[in-house]
Amino acid sequence: MLRLFSPAKINLFLKVLGKRPDGYHELSSLFQTIDLGDFLTFSFHSEDSLTCTDPVIPIDESNLISKAIHLFRRKTGIQKKYKVHLEKNVPIQAGLGGGSSNAATTLWALNQLSGHPATTEDLQKWSAEIGSDIPFFFSEGTAYCTGRGEHVQSLLPQPSRSCWIIKPSIGLSTPEVYKRLSAAPLSEEVMRRDDLKAFFSEPYFYVNDLEKPAFALCPPLSALKDSLKQQGFDVVMMTGSGSAFFCLGDGRQAVFGENLFACKAHFRNRKAGFWY
Ligand code: C5P
């Protein structure tokens, strides 16, 4: 039996560079894993079985864990069956990458249980076939991601910082948020910009181009961002396609509404050769 942590992520910045001919959006984003996460338990079994502590999570073939198991079988030819249990802590439809992280963790676990038939680079490359955000989790937790999100440039870990993760009860669908975005067709000019350098020039340039369409889809999110800023945080940004926010800085006096998911978290990286 193998029990692994499956971390959530935040996007320290997320810029949408334009719409691509294939319908996806070209991104430029700095991703960071945090210590809010799920736990996954894996063992060999006579048939595939997926269970979850949260009854709201679909445990059928649409779950990215099931898709990762099929992907691993297809790529390696190893036809074993698995029993998987998911202890769900990361809110869904939050932009925290919970499902993508579960898929990456599954590929890592199956590879470990099978005696490492694939390299980490293989797993990273294969994972892009089932979701744009999954390859990031095979970095060591801090990475600059471009393309659909699947081109991952690993960076040295940031000094660990604490943050608050806040999510309203309403969640957002990623495709719906992208549909609301009026992105121009991708041009060579925007591709040449150095967003990473711009971010690290003091003060850090926090931005998320998906906030505008997310707020248009769900207007109360804008008021939530304003109220969080009034709590004294230096930075309040939506992560990914929302609806969760991360808050950095001194918000120790913060009092959050009852209907909000609120969790203190920290940046968490992994060491090469180990999972998170
Ligand atoms: O790749 P993934 O399945 O996670 O993407 C979900 C949806 O989000 C896509 O179908 C697309 O509508 C949108 N998306 C996008 N551009 C990206 C990533 C996702 O338009 N870079």
Query: What would the pLDDT profile of 161-218 be if each residue is shown by its tens digit?
Result: 999 999 999 999 999 999 999 878 887 776 667 889 888 887 788 999 999 999 999 9
Q: Which residues contact 77 (CB under 8 A, 6 or more apart)?
A: none
Residue nearest to atom 19 of ligand 1 (CA): 24
Q: Can you tell me which atom of ligand 1 is nearest the CA of 178?
A: 20
Residues 133, 167, 195, 225: which is the catalytic one?
A: 133
State the distance from the centre of ligand 1 to the C-alpha of 256, rounded, in angstroms: 31
pLDDT of residue 252: 66
Q: Can you tell me which atom of ligand 1 is nearest the CA of 175?
A: 12
State the distance from the centre of ligand 1 to the C-alpha of 13, rounded, in angstroms: 17
User: Which one-letter amino acid corresponds to residue 23?
Assistant: G
Is residue 15 part of the annotated active site? The answer reads no
* 3-class DSSP string for 16-58: EEEECCCCCEEEEEEEEEEEEEEEEEEEEECCCEEEECCCCCC
pLDDT of residue 187: 77
Pick the more confident residue, 203 or 30.
Answer: 30
Mean pLDDT of all residues in the chain?
Answer: 94
pLDDT of residue 133: 98
Strand pairing report for 49-52 and 207-208: unpaired
State the distance from the centre of ligand 1 to the C-alpha of 134, rounded, in angstroms: 12
Is residue 54 part of the annotated active site? The answer reads no
pLDDT of residue 192: 67
pTM, 2 dp: 0.96
State the distance from the centre of ligand 1 to the C-alpha of 179, rounded, in angstroms: 10
pLDDT of residue 193: 75
Residue 178 to residues 20, 173, 181, 225: CA-CA distances in angstroms?
Answer: 12, 9, 5, 20
**Average pLDDT over every residue of 59-82:** 98
- Pocket around ligand 1: residues whose beta carbon is below 6 Å from it? 24-25, 27, 131-133, 148-149, 174-175, 178
